[in-house]
Amino acid sequence: MQIIENLKVKEKAYIEKLENGLTVIIIPKHNTSKKYVIWGTNFGSIDNKFIAPEDKEETSIPDGVAHFLEHKMFEQANGTNSLDTLTALGVEANAYTTNDHTAYLFEATDNFYPALDELMDYVQNPYYTDENVEKEKGIIAQEIKMYDDQPEWQVYMNAIQLMYKNNPINIDIAGTVESISGINKDILYKVYNTFYHPSNMVLTICGDFEPNDILQEIKNRLKKDIKKQGTIKRIYPQEPEEIVAPEKTVEMEVNMPLFTIGFKDEINNNEKDIVKKHIAIEIILYMLLGRSSEAYKKLYEAGDIIMQPQLEYETSKQYSHVLISGQSTNPQNVVKMLKNQIEKYKTSGLDEQQFNRVKKKIYGDYITEYNDVGNIARMFMADYFKGINSFDYLEEYEQVGIEYANQILAEIFDFNKMVVSVVKGK
Protein backbone atom coordinates (compact mmCIF):
# COMPACT_ATOMS: atom_id res chain seq x y z
CA MET A 1 0.00 0.00 0.00
CA GLN A 2 1.40 3.38 -1.02
CA ILE A 3 1.45 5.98 1.76
CA ILE A 4 1.59 9.72 1.05
CA GLU A 5 1.87 12.15 3.91
CA ASN A 6 1.61 15.88 4.51
CA LEU A 7 3.25 17.12 7.69
CA LYS A 8 1.60 20.56 7.48
CA VAL A 9 -1.87 19.09 8.16
CA LYS A 10 -0.52 15.90 9.81
CA GLU A 11 -2.55 13.73 7.44
CA LYS A 12 -1.76 10.52 5.58
CA ALA A 13 -3.43 8.95 2.56
CA TYR A 14 -3.11 5.21 1.90
CA ILE A 15 -3.50 4.26 -1.75
CA GLU A 16 -3.99 0.74 -3.06
CA LYS A 17 -4.53 -0.39 -6.65
CA LEU A 18 -6.45 -3.69 -6.48
CA GLU A 19 -6.11 -6.64 -8.84
CA ASN A 20 -9.37 -5.73 -10.60
CA GLY A 21 -8.03 -2.22 -11.32
CA LEU A 22 -9.96 -0.32 -8.62
CA THR A 23 -8.01 2.42 -6.82
CA VAL A 24 -8.85 2.70 -3.12
CA ILE A 25 -7.78 5.83 -1.21
CA ILE A 26 -8.07 5.73 2.59
CA ILE A 27 -7.54 8.88 4.67
CA PRO A 28 -7.71 7.99 8.38
CA LYS A 29 -9.23 10.78 10.45
CA HIS A 30 -9.15 9.92 14.12
CA ASN A 31 -11.12 11.71 16.85
CA THR A 32 -14.21 12.03 14.64
CA SER A 33 -17.43 10.03 14.67
CA LYS A 34 -18.23 10.85 11.04
CA LYS A 35 -17.34 8.49 8.21
CA TYR A 36 -17.53 9.38 4.53
CA VAL A 37 -17.36 7.19 1.44
CA ILE A 38 -17.40 8.40 -2.16
CA TRP A 39 -17.16 6.02 -5.12
CA GLY A 40 -16.47 7.79 -8.39
CA THR A 41 -16.13 6.82 -12.02
CA ASN A 42 -14.04 8.76 -14.51
CA PHE A 43 -17.09 9.30 -16.73
CA GLY A 44 -18.99 12.55 -17.14
CA SER A 45 -21.26 14.38 -19.54
CA ILE A 46 -18.45 15.20 -22.01
CA ASP A 47 -17.60 11.51 -22.60
CA ASN A 48 -20.13 10.88 -25.36
CA LYS A 49 -17.78 9.41 -28.01
CA PHE A 50 -15.40 6.56 -27.23
CA ILE A 51 -13.92 3.24 -28.29
CA ALA A 52 -14.43 0.61 -25.56
CA PRO A 53 -11.40 -1.63 -24.75
CA GLU A 54 -12.93 -4.68 -26.47
CA ASP A 55 -14.15 -2.73 -29.53
CA LYS A 56 -12.55 -1.47 -32.73
CA GLU A 57 -15.44 0.79 -33.73
CA GLU A 58 -16.33 4.14 -32.18
CA THR A 59 -19.43 4.31 -29.98
CA SER A 60 -21.45 7.53 -29.96
CA ILE A 61 -24.07 8.01 -27.22
CA PRO A 62 -26.81 10.64 -26.76
CA ASP A 63 -26.12 13.74 -24.67
CA GLY A 64 -27.18 13.24 -21.06
CA VAL A 65 -26.38 9.51 -20.68
CA ALA A 66 -23.97 9.97 -17.73
CA HIS A 67 -26.63 11.85 -15.73
CA PHE A 68 -29.40 9.46 -16.82
CA LEU A 69 -27.37 6.44 -15.74
CA GLU A 70 -26.65 8.03 -12.35
CA HIS A 71 -30.40 8.39 -11.78
CA LYS A 72 -31.02 4.75 -12.72
CA MET A 73 -28.35 3.24 -10.46
CA PHE A 74 -30.54 3.38 -7.34
CA GLU A 75 -33.36 1.22 -8.72
CA GLN A 76 -33.00 -2.45 -7.77
CA ALA A 77 -34.38 -5.65 -9.32
CA ASN A 78 -36.31 -6.45 -6.10
CA GLY A 79 -38.31 -3.22 -6.44
CA THR A 80 -36.44 -1.26 -3.76
CA ASN A 81 -34.63 2.05 -4.18
CA SER A 82 -31.15 2.17 -2.66
CA LEU A 83 -31.42 5.87 -1.82
CA ASP A 84 -34.50 5.11 0.29
CA THR A 85 -32.71 2.16 1.91
CA LEU A 86 -29.72 4.34 2.85
CA THR A 87 -31.94 7.13 4.17
CA ALA A 88 -33.80 4.59 6.34
CA LEU A 89 -30.43 3.61 7.85
CA GLY A 90 -30.02 7.23 8.99
CA VAL A 91 -27.14 8.11 6.68
CA GLU A 92 -26.87 11.08 4.34
CA ALA A 93 -26.61 9.59 0.85
CA ASN A 94 -26.42 11.22 -2.55
CA ALA A 95 -24.99 11.02 -6.08
CA TYR A 96 -24.03 13.59 -8.68
CA THR A 97 -22.81 13.93 -12.26
CA THR A 98 -20.31 16.53 -13.50
CA ASN A 99 -18.73 17.20 -16.87
CA ASP A 100 -15.92 14.75 -16.17
CA HIS A 101 -16.98 12.32 -13.43
CA THR A 102 -19.93 10.70 -11.65
CA ALA A 103 -19.97 9.87 -7.93
CA TYR A 104 -22.01 7.96 -5.34
CA LEU A 105 -21.55 8.79 -1.68
CA PHE A 106 -22.76 8.70 1.89
CA GLU A 107 -21.81 10.16 5.26
CA ALA A 108 -22.59 8.17 8.39
CA THR A 109 -22.18 8.28 12.15
CA ASP A 110 -24.05 5.02 12.83
CA ASN A 111 -24.92 2.02 10.63
CA PHE A 112 -21.76 2.50 8.59
CA TYR A 113 -21.27 -1.11 7.48
CA PRO A 114 -24.93 -1.75 6.50
CA ALA A 115 -24.70 1.48 4.46
CA LEU A 116 -21.42 0.33 2.88
CA ASP A 117 -23.14 -2.97 1.99
CA GLU A 118 -25.91 -1.07 0.20
CA LEU A 119 -23.61 1.38 -1.62
CA MET A 120 -21.28 -1.30 -2.91
CA ASP A 121 -24.19 -3.53 -3.87
CA TYR A 122 -26.13 -1.02 -5.96
CA VAL A 123 -23.07 0.47 -7.71
CA GLN A 124 -22.00 -3.03 -8.80
CA ASN A 125 -25.46 -4.28 -9.82
CA PRO A 126 -27.28 -2.10 -12.38
CA TYR A 127 -30.87 -2.91 -13.26
CA TYR A 128 -32.23 -1.42 -16.47
CA THR A 129 -35.43 -2.47 -18.24
CA ASP A 130 -37.35 -0.98 -21.15
CA GLU A 131 -40.07 0.07 -18.69
CA ASN A 132 -37.91 1.73 -16.04
CA VAL A 133 -35.84 3.56 -18.70
CA GLU A 134 -38.97 4.98 -20.36
CA LYS A 135 -40.37 6.04 -16.98
CA GLU A 136 -37.11 7.87 -16.14
CA LYS A 137 -37.23 9.86 -19.39
CA GLY A 138 -40.33 11.68 -18.16
CA ILE A 139 -38.73 12.46 -14.80
CA ILE A 140 -35.49 13.78 -16.32
CA ALA A 141 -37.35 15.75 -19.01
CA GLN A 142 -39.11 17.62 -16.17
CA GLU A 143 -35.75 18.24 -14.51
CA ILE A 144 -34.29 19.63 -17.76
CA LYS A 145 -37.26 22.00 -18.18
CA MET A 146 -36.89 23.09 -14.56
CA TYR A 147 -33.21 23.97 -15.10
CA ASP A 148 -34.10 25.83 -18.30
CA ASP A 149 -36.23 28.10 -16.10
CA GLN A 150 -33.49 28.70 -13.52
CA PRO A 151 -31.69 32.04 -14.07
CA GLU A 152 -28.57 30.84 -12.16
CA TRP A 153 -28.18 27.84 -14.49
CA GLN A 154 -28.88 29.86 -17.62
CA VAL A 155 -26.34 32.58 -16.83
CA TYR A 156 -23.72 29.86 -16.26
CA MET A 157 -24.54 27.81 -19.38
CA ASN A 158 -24.60 30.94 -21.56
CA ALA A 159 -21.09 31.84 -20.33
CA ILE A 160 -19.86 28.32 -21.13
CA GLN A 161 -21.44 28.47 -24.60
CA LEU A 162 -19.81 31.87 -25.22
CA MET A 163 -16.42 30.28 -24.47
CA TYR A 164 -16.66 26.85 -26.08
CA LYS A 165 -17.58 26.15 -29.70
CA ASN A 166 -17.09 22.36 -30.01
CA ASN A 167 -16.25 21.02 -26.56
CA PRO A 168 -19.26 19.04 -25.20
CA ILE A 169 -19.01 21.04 -21.95
CA ASN A 170 -21.26 23.49 -23.85
CA ILE A 171 -24.13 20.96 -23.60
CA ASP A 172 -26.26 20.70 -20.46
CA ILE A 173 -25.07 17.82 -18.20
CA ALA A 174 -28.61 16.38 -18.30
CA GLY A 175 -28.75 16.62 -22.12
CA THR A 176 -31.91 17.85 -23.83
CA VAL A 177 -35.44 16.46 -23.88
CA GLU A 178 -34.75 15.40 -27.46
CA SER A 179 -31.37 13.75 -26.77
CA ILE A 180 -32.55 11.65 -23.80
CA SER A 181 -35.40 10.29 -25.94
CA GLY A 182 -32.71 8.25 -27.74
CA ILE A 183 -31.52 6.47 -24.57
CA ASN A 184 -32.38 2.79 -24.09
CA LYS A 185 -31.31 -0.02 -21.76
CA ASP A 186 -28.71 -1.36 -24.25
CA ILE A 187 -26.93 2.01 -24.31
CA LEU A 188 -26.97 2.16 -20.50
CA TYR A 189 -25.51 -1.35 -20.14
CA LYS A 190 -22.86 -0.61 -22.78
CA VAL A 191 -21.82 2.56 -20.96
CA TYR A 192 -21.96 0.88 -17.54
CA ASN A 193 -19.79 -2.05 -18.63
CA THR A 194 -17.26 0.34 -20.21
CA PHE A 195 -16.99 3.15 -17.67
CA TYR A 196 -18.15 1.51 -14.41
CA HIS A 197 -15.41 -1.10 -14.58
CA PRO A 198 -13.22 -0.94 -11.42
CA SER A 199 -10.22 0.05 -13.59
CA ASN A 200 -11.97 3.35 -14.34
CA MET A 201 -13.10 4.03 -10.77
CA VAL A 202 -11.74 5.25 -7.45
CA LEU A 203 -13.25 4.64 -4.00
CA THR A 204 -12.22 7.17 -1.36
CA ILE A 205 -12.98 6.74 2.31
CA CYS A 206 -12.30 9.06 5.24
CA GLY A 207 -12.95 8.54 8.95
CA ASP A 208 -11.70 6.73 12.05
CA PHE A 209 -10.39 3.60 10.30
CA GLU A 210 -7.37 1.34 10.38
CA PRO A 211 -6.31 1.31 6.71
CA ASN A 212 -5.71 -2.45 6.35
CA ASP A 213 -8.97 -3.31 8.13
CA ILE A 214 -11.20 -1.06 6.02
CA LEU A 215 -9.37 -2.12 2.84
CA GLN A 216 -10.26 -5.74 3.63
CA GLU A 217 -13.90 -4.74 4.27
CA ILE A 218 -13.99 -3.13 0.81
CA LYS A 219 -12.38 -6.16 -0.84
CA ASN A 220 -14.95 -8.45 0.82
CA ARG A 221 -17.77 -6.49 -0.83
CA LEU A 222 -16.33 -6.40 -4.34
CA LYS A 223 -17.51 -8.74 -7.07
CA LYS A 224 -15.08 -11.59 -7.59
CA ASP A 225 -13.26 -12.65 -10.78
CA ILE A 226 -13.28 -9.22 -12.45
CA LYS A 227 -10.08 -8.73 -14.43
CA LYS A 228 -8.38 -5.41 -15.16
CA GLN A 229 -9.71 -3.61 -18.20
CA GLY A 230 -7.81 -2.20 -21.18
CA THR A 231 -7.76 1.50 -22.04
CA ILE A 232 -10.92 3.36 -22.99
CA LYS A 233 -10.18 5.65 -25.94
CA ARG A 234 -12.14 8.87 -25.43
CA ILE A 235 -12.80 10.99 -28.50
CA TYR A 236 -13.22 14.75 -28.17
CA PRO A 237 -13.66 17.36 -30.90
CA GLN A 238 -10.91 19.89 -31.60
CA GLU A 239 -11.61 23.11 -29.68
CA PRO A 240 -10.32 26.45 -31.04
CA GLU A 241 -8.36 28.70 -28.69
CA GLU A 242 -10.59 31.71 -29.30
CA ILE A 243 -14.01 32.30 -27.73
CA VAL A 244 -17.31 32.01 -29.64
CA ALA A 245 -18.66 35.48 -28.79
CA PRO A 246 -17.87 38.09 -26.12
CA GLU A 247 -21.29 38.62 -24.54
CA LYS A 248 -24.89 37.54 -24.26
CA THR A 249 -27.83 39.00 -22.33
CA VAL A 250 -31.18 37.28 -21.85
CA GLU A 251 -34.34 38.33 -20.00
CA MET A 252 -35.91 36.18 -17.28
CA GLU A 253 -37.95 36.64 -14.12
CA VAL A 254 -35.28 37.99 -11.72
CA ASN A 255 -35.36 40.61 -8.96
CA MET A 256 -31.76 41.64 -9.62
CA PRO A 257 -29.61 40.93 -12.70
CA LEU A 258 -27.20 37.98 -12.57
CA PHE A 259 -23.82 37.91 -14.27
CA THR A 260 -21.08 35.40 -15.06
CA ILE A 261 -17.75 36.65 -16.37
CA GLY A 262 -15.51 34.00 -17.90
CA PHE A 263 -11.91 33.80 -19.13
CA LYS A 264 -11.16 30.85 -21.40
CA ASP A 265 -7.85 29.16 -20.63
CA GLU A 266 -5.74 26.72 -22.61
CA ILE A 267 -5.73 23.03 -21.58
CA ASN A 268 -2.67 22.06 -19.57
CA ASN A 269 -2.05 18.41 -18.69
CA ASN A 270 1.07 18.92 -16.58
CA GLU A 271 -0.22 18.07 -13.08
CA LYS A 272 2.32 20.16 -11.13
CA ASP A 273 1.68 23.19 -13.36
CA ILE A 274 -2.10 22.85 -12.86
CA VAL A 275 -1.78 22.99 -9.06
CA LYS A 276 0.61 25.95 -9.01
CA LYS A 277 -1.46 27.81 -11.59
CA HIS A 278 -4.70 27.08 -9.69
CA ILE A 279 -3.26 28.59 -6.49
CA ALA A 280 -2.04 31.70 -8.34
CA ILE A 281 -5.43 32.21 -10.02
CA GLU A 282 -7.25 31.90 -6.67
CA ILE A 283 -5.00 34.56 -5.16
CA ILE A 284 -5.47 36.87 -8.18
CA LEU A 285 -9.26 36.45 -8.13
CA TYR A 286 -9.47 37.43 -4.44
CA MET A 287 -7.18 40.40 -5.10
CA LEU A 288 -9.45 41.50 -7.96
CA LEU A 289 -12.90 41.00 -6.43
CA GLY A 290 -12.54 39.45 -2.98
CA ARG A 291 -14.28 41.06 -0.01
CA SER A 292 -11.20 43.08 0.99
CA SER A 293 -10.33 44.20 -2.56
CA GLU A 294 -10.43 47.82 -3.69
CA ALA A 295 -12.84 47.02 -6.56
CA TYR A 296 -15.28 45.17 -4.31
CA LYS A 297 -15.35 48.03 -1.77
CA LYS A 298 -16.12 50.59 -4.50
CA LEU A 299 -18.84 48.44 -6.08
CA TYR A 300 -20.38 47.74 -2.66
CA GLU A 301 -20.38 51.39 -1.63
CA ALA A 302 -21.96 52.37 -4.98
CA GLY A 303 -24.71 49.77 -4.37
CA ASP A 304 -23.73 47.82 -7.49
CA ILE A 305 -23.22 44.56 -5.58
CA ILE A 306 -24.42 43.37 -2.17
CA MET A 307 -22.12 40.37 -1.67
CA GLN A 308 -18.81 38.98 -2.89
CA PRO A 309 -19.14 37.24 -6.26
CA GLN A 310 -18.34 33.53 -6.53
CA LEU A 311 -14.74 33.19 -7.73
CA GLU A 312 -13.56 29.90 -9.22
CA TYR A 313 -11.18 28.20 -11.59
CA GLU A 314 -12.61 25.09 -13.28
CA THR A 315 -10.06 22.79 -14.86
CA SER A 316 -9.92 19.24 -16.20
CA LYS A 317 -8.03 17.37 -18.90
CA GLN A 318 -10.45 18.73 -21.54
CA TYR A 319 -11.35 22.30 -20.49
CA SER A 320 -10.10 25.14 -18.33
CA HIS A 321 -11.60 28.53 -17.45
CA VAL A 322 -12.05 31.21 -14.80
CA LEU A 323 -15.59 32.11 -13.68
CA ILE A 324 -16.75 35.14 -11.68
CA SER A 325 -20.47 34.96 -10.86
CA GLY A 326 -22.85 37.04 -8.83
CA GLN A 327 -25.75 39.49 -8.70
CA SER A 328 -25.53 43.18 -9.49
CA THR A 329 -27.85 46.12 -10.02
CA ASN A 330 -25.46 47.10 -12.81
CA PRO A 331 -23.39 44.18 -14.25
CA GLN A 332 -21.66 46.47 -16.77
CA ASN A 333 -20.20 48.49 -13.89
CA VAL A 334 -18.79 45.25 -12.40
CA VAL A 335 -17.22 44.39 -15.77
CA LYS A 336 -15.78 47.89 -16.15
CA MET A 337 -14.36 47.90 -12.60
CA LEU A 338 -12.88 44.42 -13.08
CA LYS A 339 -11.22 45.38 -16.37
CA ASN A 340 -9.80 48.57 -14.84
CA GLN A 341 -8.34 46.60 -11.95
CA ILE A 342 -6.82 43.97 -14.27
CA GLU A 343 -5.28 46.74 -16.41
CA LYS A 344 -3.90 48.44 -13.31
CA TYR A 345 -2.26 45.23 -12.06
CA LYS A 346 -0.90 44.39 -15.51
CA THR A 347 0.68 47.86 -15.76
CA SER A 348 2.07 48.28 -12.24
CA GLY A 349 2.21 44.66 -11.04
CA LEU A 350 0.26 43.04 -8.22
CA ASP A 351 0.48 44.80 -4.88
CA GLU A 352 2.94 42.75 -2.80
CA GLN A 353 1.40 43.47 0.61
CA GLN A 354 -2.08 42.55 -0.61
CA PHE A 355 -0.69 39.50 -2.42
CA ASN A 356 0.91 38.14 0.77
CA ARG A 357 -2.22 38.82 2.82
CA VAL A 358 -4.51 37.04 0.33
CA LYS A 359 -2.02 34.19 -0.07
CA LYS A 360 -2.19 33.55 3.69
CA LYS A 361 -6.00 33.58 3.55
CA ILE A 362 -6.00 31.00 0.71
CA TYR A 363 -3.62 28.78 2.69
CA GLY A 364 -5.92 29.03 5.71
CA ASP A 365 -8.83 27.92 3.52
CA TYR A 366 -6.86 24.87 2.35
CA ILE A 367 -6.02 23.89 5.94
CA THR A 368 -9.67 24.28 6.98
CA GLU A 369 -10.76 21.84 4.27
CA TYR A 370 -8.88 19.09 6.11
CA ASN A 371 -11.19 19.45 9.13
CA ASP A 372 -14.12 17.81 7.32
CA VAL A 373 -14.23 14.13 6.26
CA GLY A 374 -16.52 14.91 3.31
CA ASN A 375 -14.29 17.69 1.96
CA ILE A 376 -11.20 15.48 2.21
CA ALA A 377 -12.78 12.48 0.46
CA ARG A 378 -14.38 14.52 -2.36
CA MET A 379 -11.16 16.44 -2.92
CA PHE A 380 -8.95 13.33 -3.18
CA MET A 381 -11.38 11.60 -5.54
CA ALA A 382 -11.84 14.57 -7.92
CA ASP A 383 -8.12 15.38 -7.93
CA TYR A 384 -7.22 11.73 -8.61
CA PHE A 385 -9.10 11.86 -11.92
CA LYS A 386 -7.05 14.95 -12.85
CA GLY A 387 -3.82 13.12 -12.03
CA ILE A 388 -3.27 15.29 -8.95
CA ASN A 389 -2.36 14.34 -5.38
CA SER A 390 -4.45 16.68 -3.19
CA PHE A 391 -1.54 17.27 -0.81
CA ASP A 392 0.26 19.00 -3.72
CA TYR A 393 -1.82 22.13 -3.07
CA LEU A 394 -0.14 22.51 0.32
CA GLU A 395 3.30 21.69 -1.10
CA GLU A 396 3.09 23.94 -4.20
CA TYR A 397 1.71 26.87 -2.17
CA GLU A 398 5.25 27.94 -1.19
CA GLN A 399 6.30 27.99 -4.86
CA VAL A 400 3.73 30.64 -5.85
CA GLY A 401 5.54 33.97 -5.72
CA ILE A 402 4.42 37.38 -6.92
CA GLU A 403 6.48 37.18 -10.14
CA TYR A 404 4.78 33.94 -11.11
CA ALA A 405 1.35 35.41 -10.22
CA ASN A 406 2.03 38.45 -12.45
CA GLN A 407 2.88 36.08 -15.29
CA ILE A 408 -0.38 34.13 -14.76
CA LEU A 409 -2.35 37.39 -14.61
CA ALA A 410 -0.98 38.37 -18.04
CA GLU A 411 -1.65 34.91 -19.54
CA ILE A 412 -5.12 34.12 -18.19
CA PHE A 413 -6.87 37.45 -17.79
CA ASP A 414 -6.82 38.19 -21.51
CA PHE A 415 -9.70 40.45 -22.65
CA ASN A 416 -9.71 38.69 -26.04
CA LYS A 417 -10.75 35.51 -24.22
CA MET A 418 -13.21 37.19 -21.85
CA VAL A 419 -16.96 36.58 -21.98
CA VAL A 420 -19.86 38.26 -20.17
CA SER A 421 -23.19 36.50 -19.63
CA VAL A 422 -26.06 38.46 -18.09
CA VAL A 423 -29.60 37.55 -17.09
CA LYS A 424 -31.70 40.67 -16.49
CA GLY A 425 -35.33 41.18 -15.49
CA LYS A 426 -38.07 41.31 -18.07
- Between CA 263 and CA 419 the distance in angstroms is 6
Q: Return the DSSP state at 398.
A: G
- Between CA 202 and CA 37 the distance in angstroms is 11
Does the annotation count 70 as an active-site position?
yes
Burial of 210 (0-12, 13-18, 19+ CB in 10 A): exposed
Among residues 206, 204, 208, 213, the alpha carbon closest in space to that of 33 is found at 208
Catalytic residue (one of 70, 75, 107, 118): 70
- Between CA 385 and CA 414 the distance in angstroms is 28
Residue type, 327: Q
258 SS3 class: strand
CA distances for 59 relative to 31, 55, 179, 196, 370, angstroms: 48, 9, 16, 16, 40
Q: Return the DSSP state at 3.
A: E
Please provide the distance, in angstroms rounded to a whole number, between the alpha carbons at the two ends of the chain. Answer: 59
- Between CA 383 and CA 47 the distance in angstroms is 18
Residue type, 167: N
Please give the distance of CA 311 from its chain centroid, rounded to a whole number: 14
239 torsion bin: left (phi>0), alpha (psi -120 to 50), beta (else): beta
Burial of 295 (0-12, 13-18, 19+ CB in 10 A): buried
Helix pair 151-163, 130-148: axis angle to 10 deg: 90
Q: Which residues are catalytic?
A: 70
